[in-house]
Amino acid sequence: MISAFVFHYCSFRKRPIWNKRHFEPNRIKSSFLTRNVAFRERAIRALYLSAQLDEELSESINSDIVTQETRAYNSSQYTIRAPEWFIKLRNERKKDYELKPGEIAVRFINTPTGEDIVVAAKPSENLMDVADSVGLKIPRYCETGVCGTCTAELEDLSSVDGRVAIRPCCTDVHLPTGCDEMVVDVFHCRNFSSVVDYTEEVLQSDRKLTRDCTTCLGQGIVSCFPCGGSGLLSDSDAEELCCYCMGRKITLCPDCQGKGLTKVQW
């Protein structure tokens, strides 16, 4: 339960004549580190407003919170331990489930019912499909990650603020760095009930998602292009059956593959 960041500083900057104060990289790094930890804790707390948290924010850096420091040339990389209250909160989550080899526990929090939903999934499974399998309808529209309607937040302790924004429709199941579960915050579901109903109607309605193909006018067939609809291919010596339509004079519409319908481009 850690996060990491890299602090870069210039070690070769010349001190101006009028500035008698020497460049103090250690002092600046300590100040930056303190602000970084405080910012991260405030951001993580915003994700768990319903939790009863009594501890104060970290105002200074102690020797326990920084678990590792790596220096290279003019940069330092710090590995920071997660706050005690956050570790306690994660440990209190019920984990009364069993996973088969190769499975990952996906936990959906802040669901419309207020209860966590845990489901076992395999890596590379689509997160939206996993949610649908347990009856959790995440708001959606384009299902390609463009519109952002399905935006959720994923616990990822390698991030500075402990979470990252994701699009479940184009996110595969995986274990974030330092986590034993894939925890997805779907708090948007509580405020998008009308959107869920509307998008479900759109996505499941062929009448709204499709229209008659403009190439074949909904017939699914078109005149064979190579033979011009005659069924015969003319040569200098003789005529033979068209090898494309086999003399039928028609072929399947290339745009709709013979279905007579094409998808509407939103």
What is the spatial distance between Cα 143 and Cα 132, in angstroms, rounded to a whole number?
Answer: 13
- Tens of pLDDT, residue by residue over 99-125, are 999 999 999 988 888 889 999 999 989
Instruction: Read off the tokens for 121.
Output: 């999934």
Confidence band for 230, pLDDT divided at 50, 70 and 90: confident
Q: What is the pLDDT of residues 130-184, one digit of tens each?
A: 999 999 988 887 777 888 888 898 988 777 667 788 999 999 999 987 788 999 9
Q: How much is the pLDDT for 127?
A: 94
Confidence of residue 60 (pLDDT cuts 50, 70, 90): very low
Which of 113-118's residues contact partners 24+ apart within 8 Å by CB, and which partners?
118/181
User: What is the token pair recorded at 262?
Assistant: 């094409």
For domain 93-204, is the CATH number 3.30.70.260? Answer: no
pLDDT of residue 67: 54
Q: Is the pTM of this model over 0.85?
A: no
Per DSSP, what are the bridge partners of residue 233?
A: 240
Residue spans per domain, the chain? 2-88, 93-204, 209-263
Backbone angles phi, psi at 239, to 5 degrees: -115, 140
Residue 232 structure tokens: 């015969």
pLDDT of residue 137: 87
pLDDT computed for residue 71 by the predictor: 60
Q: Is 168 exposed, middle or buried (CB count within 10 Å of its CB: 0-12, 13-18, 19+)?
A: buried
pLDDT for res 197: 47
Give residue-wise pLDDT tens across range 20-43. Answer: 444 455 666 666 666 666 666 666
Looking at the structure, give the CATH architecture of the domain made up of residues 209-263: Ribbon (2.10)
Residues 152, 168 contacting (CB under 8 angstroms): yes
**pLDDT-derived band of residue 264, with 50, 70 and 90 as boundaries?**
low
